[in-house]
Structure 1
Amino acid sequence: MKKPYQLGVTNLLEELRLRESTSEQLMTSLIARIDSREPAVHAWAHFDRAQALERARSADRHIRAGKSGELLGIPVGIKDVIDVHDMPTARGSPLFAGRIPERSATIVDRLEHAGGFVMGKTVTAEFAYLHPGPTRNPWNPAHTPGGSSMGSAAAVADGMVPVAIGTQTNGSVIRPAAFCGCVGYKPSQGLLPRTGVQPFSPTLDQLGIFTRSVPDAAIVTGALIGFDPKDPMSLSDMSLSPTDFMLRSQYQPPRLAVVRSPVWHLAEPTQRQRFEENVNALRAAGASVEDLDLGSAFETAHEALRIIMFAEGAVTFAKLHAQHSARLSPELNQLIEEGSRLRATRFEEAREQRLRLRTELSRRMMNCDAIVTPPARGEAPASLGHTGDPSFCTIWTLCGVPAITVPVGVGPLGLPLGLQLVGRFLEDPALLTVAQWCVQAIGLPERMPA
């Protein structure tokens, strides 16, 4: 029998609904897990045990009173670039140490409206960029957990919290989820609200979810989507509704497109071998599997994202750079300086290219239900000085399309490997349905670090 900290959102909601367990019992189990594992993993930027227990008890009182909510009683980790009004949000920088926001981000308000509660703040790389925080890979502390949503991925993978929220401007949800061995899901751009989230690149910034399973990701996302009038990228409530995220069975095997992107040469041999094994398993399970060449249009996609990210990042952090450059990391200072030298015409061309590529990707995916592709080069690198290469996420982030990674086993170093699936823009429910079919066809490893 599994311990409470080992359960995912779907099972926990069922146990809470049937009164087979309580949120307080869950929190007690999670605290014991954190006490055991946090000294080695360092996933949390802020965690108050007494506060977390009281929030769990409050949720139990709501349950006993007959109240309802899509996430009632579920604790959630929040990346430390997302404001929570009664917790410090330092954004991974000493410049904001001890900062308490006046109000919570919209996504946190939505979470609490659905009955969930913030358990604590998870570690982020500095301003959600490259300079890593103290988090280590829960499978081997000598290896990076990925980034920038490093604490969120590590906490979920290690059984410290059943769900966490992160952000992605290039590969900051998909890559750490793959490195740590949990599900990482980045919905279509504009579905999740960004108000109250530290901006980096307004054109590219997107929120994402870390869970233990695909159905868990669907449940959480359905509770959080919706129009945000203060977010210029936010989509109308008519785009998708919460009920669209009620996962349905895939009775017909899906049509899958195998994409070996322009950075395929960067994939390590173990990642390539596992990917080919996954493709063969999906074909054997009945999926229609065909290779898809993205074509020459996507060969400069990585440079387009870089231009947008650097140009907008330079604007976002210009004041901090002018006043506090000595307290910013060399990586961020370099981005600001390089981004400030970019010509406005190159920036606008890159933004226009982004929209063209989204349209072209949709056209190329007309005859498939989802793309399958690696989420990273391979296992997490044996370094704590950097968070790994996001290149295998870049095209999908640039286009703003939904992407999800699921764990598919381990490599020779004993570290997780993942499989990434990509859908058409705003066809998130279809992508999640296909992803769950693929998990059942391949088999999702139910392993957790010791």
Structure 2
Amino acid sequence: MEPWQLTAATAAAKLREGRLTAEALTRSCLERIAEREAVVKAWTFLDPRLAIANAREVDKVHTMGALHGLPVGVKDMIETADMPTTYNSPIYQGLRQGRDAACVGIARGEGAVILGKTDTVEFAAAGRRALTRNPRDAARTPGGSSSGSAAAVADGMVPLAFGTQTGGSTIRPASFCGIYAMKPTHGAVSTEGAKRYAHTLDTIGWYGRAPEDLRLVAEAFRLFDLDQPLGKGLRELRIGLCGGPNWHLAAPESRAALELAGRRLEEAGAAVEPLALPQAFEGITEAQRVVLLGEGRGAFLQEYVAAPGLLHADFRDRVENFAGISGAQLAGAYNLAADCRKLFDALFPHFDAVLTPAAVGEAPLGRQDTGNPVFNSMWTLLHVPCIAVPCTTGPHGMPVGVQIVGPRFGDAALLDVAALVGPVIDPR
């Protein structure tokens, strides 16, 4: 097995034991990128000499952090001190901010090798799409907006990568590409240095190829209660099976994936119960849309004023309030979200996690349609942690995943649940 094929957790163990170096792992990842990048197009910036130099510096360090020696990809709307941050916008091509975003600085401080910048939908929001293709089928999207990050991890180019989620930009690409991902509780990881879209929604997330990979990054960010084990085995878990208010939009393969995941868990001894959410949740998808567009007006006003000729029409529409969002609507959406957060949190500890679809179905054809975020957006507005788990394939042989969801600041327990259910739902 080549180093690029290792999961982050396996590579981390070898690095700690001295059986692998950061330079060797980085060189292996660069070789994989050289082999596959012409097809996948995951990267907007990659300097192999810089990456190797950074890896050599890591190899000199005696104190090993949580991410020691692990190459990490960074979504190109998150600032990096030694690389450009373009936001996939013609306004910012070649921009160098000269500083790291908080998440990047923490990763470096914990020993990560920042490998390069991964392609994204413009401003991680709308407008221009990433050039990235799905590694499983180059004719299909890897999802958006964290297109390059998901594809790079799925294709073995890098063991870990940062994404962001405002609607479904971390979890949905994981489903389309057949990998694991985590969207932590809103606010648990600083978004400083990442382009803002909707401050009520924006969340830094990350990708890996195993549940243990996700935990490594969670440890680097010192998420709450990681020192408090769940203390349960698989047969003691109680899982709520939830189609949610948008179940009618699920494609047959997504319905089949959820049912298959639930059946696999039951056969392994977990208790799986159907879960119908309270009536208030019928309005939660529309509330997320109102918050997204309402807060997005201010997020792109600077570009609208300073560089209107280079700003995509999608963002001009947001600033000009093409959707007609009123202040009263926005306040109502905030109020509904607050009510639903309390209702959802109240489902725990009766349940250990809620199992729900991760995407409408398989990855769509082409680059323009990056997928409907309808099975992610409500959870983003609820501020709860979500973990994407691969499950099966659809009619065209493309991955179809599911996600498990926990209560706000239940990230540590959800990671423990993922470690138990991952091998069952994803028997690869």
Shared fold per TM-score greater than 0.5:
yes
The corresponding residue for 1:41 is: 40
Deviation at 1:367, TM superposition (A): 1.6
Of 65, 69, 78, which aligns to 1:69?
65
The answer to whether the Cα contact below 8 Å between 1:305 and 1:394 also exists between their aligned partners in 2 is: yes
The answer to whether the Cα contact below 8 Å between 1:130 and 1:147 also exists between their aligned partners in 2 is: no
The corresponding residue for 1:294 is: 277
The corresponding residue for 1:235 is: none
TM-score, with structure 2 as normaliser: 0.96
Runs of 4+ in 1 over 4 A off after TM superposition: 246-249
Q: Find out whether 1:111 has 2:107 as its counterpart.
A: yes
Change in 2 beyond 3 A, CA 1:190/1:27:
same
Of 257, 264, 286, which aligns to 2:240?
257
What secondary structure is seen at the aligned counterpart in 1 of 2:307? Answer: helix
What secondary structure is seen at the aligned counterpart in 2 of 1:349? Answer: helix
TM-score, with structure 1 as normaliser: 0.91
Of 257, 260, 273, which aligns to 2:256?
273
The corresponding residue for 2:299 is: 316
Of 405, 414, 429, which aligns to 2:412?
429
Q: Which deviates further from its counterpart, 281-290 or 314-323?
A: 314-323
Deviation at 1:191, TM superposition (A): 1.0
Deviation at 1:391, TM superposition (A): 0.3
Deviation at 1:327, TM superposition (A): 2.2
The answer to whether the Cα contact below 8 Å between 2:75 and 2:148 also exists between their aligned partners in 1 is: yes
Cα distance in 2, alignment partners of residues 45 and 243 from structure 1: 37
The answer to whether the Cα contact below 8 Å between 2:234 and 2:269 also exists between their aligned partners in 1 is: no
The answer to whether the Cα contact below 8 Å between 1:179 and 1:379 also exists between their aligned partners in 2 is: yes
The answer to whether the Cα contact below 8 Å between 2:234 and 2:268 also exists between their aligned partners in 1 is: no
The corresponding residue for 1:190 is: 187
Cα distance in 1, alignment partners of residues 391 and 309 from structure 2: 42
The corresponding residue for 1:19 is: 18
What secondary structure is seen at the aligned counterpart in 1 of 2:27? Answer: helix
What secondary structure is seen at the aligned counterpart in 2 of 1:99? Answer: coil
The answer to whether the Cα contact below 8 Å between 2:142 and 2:150 also exists between their aligned partners in 1 is: yes
Of 354, 359, 362, which aligns to 2:337?
354
Of 199, 209, 216, which aligns to 1:212?
209
Overall identity of the aligned pairs, in %: 38
What secondary structure is seen at the aligned counterpart in 1 of 2:391? Answer: strand
Deviation at 1:397, TM superposition (A): 0.4
For 1:183, the aligned partner's letter is Y
Unaligned runs of 5+ in 1: 227-239, 446-450
Q: Find out whether 1:86 has 2:82 as its counterpart.
A: yes
The answer to whether the Cα contact below 8 Å between 1:203 and 1:308 also exists between their aligned partners in 2 is: yes
The corresponding residue for 1:165 is: 162
The corresponding residue for 1:386 is: 369
Change in 2 beyond 3 A, CA 1:264/1:340:
closer
Alpha-carbon deviations, 1:12-58, whole Å to 9, x = none?
11111111121111111111100011001111011101101111111
Change in 2 beyond 3 A, CA 1:364/1:248:
closer
Deviation at 1:86, TM superposition (A): 1.3
What secondary structure is seen at the aligned counterpart in 2 of 1:408? Answer: strand
For 2:190, the aligned partner's letter is P
Alpha-carbon deviations, 1:178-209, whole Å to 9, x = none?
10111010011111111111111011101101
The answer to whether the Cα contact below 8 Å between 2:180 and 2:209 also exists between their aligned partners in 1 is: yes
The answer to whether the Cα contact below 8 Å between 1:380 and 1:388 also exists between their aligned partners in 2 is: yes
Cα distance in 1, alignment partners of residues 226 and 80 from structure 2: 24
The corresponding residue for 2:385 is: 402
Q: Say how many residue pairs are matched.
A: 427
> Following superposition of structure 1 onto structure 2, how do residues 300-379 of structure 1 map, counting pairs within 5 Å?
300-338=283-321, 341-379=324-362
What secondary structure is seen at the aligned counterpart in 2 of 1:276? Answer: helix
Cα distance in 2, alignment partners of residues 300 and 36 from structure 1: 47
Cα distance in 2, alignment partners of residues 433 and 344 from structure 1: 41
Of 382, 395, 400, which aligns to 1:412?
395
Of 195, 199, 202, which aligns to 2:196?
199
Unaligned runs of 5+ in 2: none
Alpha-carbon deviations, 1:90-148, whole Å to 9, x = none?
11101000000131111111111111121111111000013311111111111011010
The answer to whether the Cα contact below 8 Å between 2:235 and 2:268 also exists between their aligned partners in 1 is: no
C-alpha RMSD of matched pairs (Å): 1.7
Change in 2 beyond 3 A, CA 1:93/1:214:
same
The answer to whether the Cα contact below 8 Å between 2:16 and 2:64 also exists between their aligned partners in 1 is: no
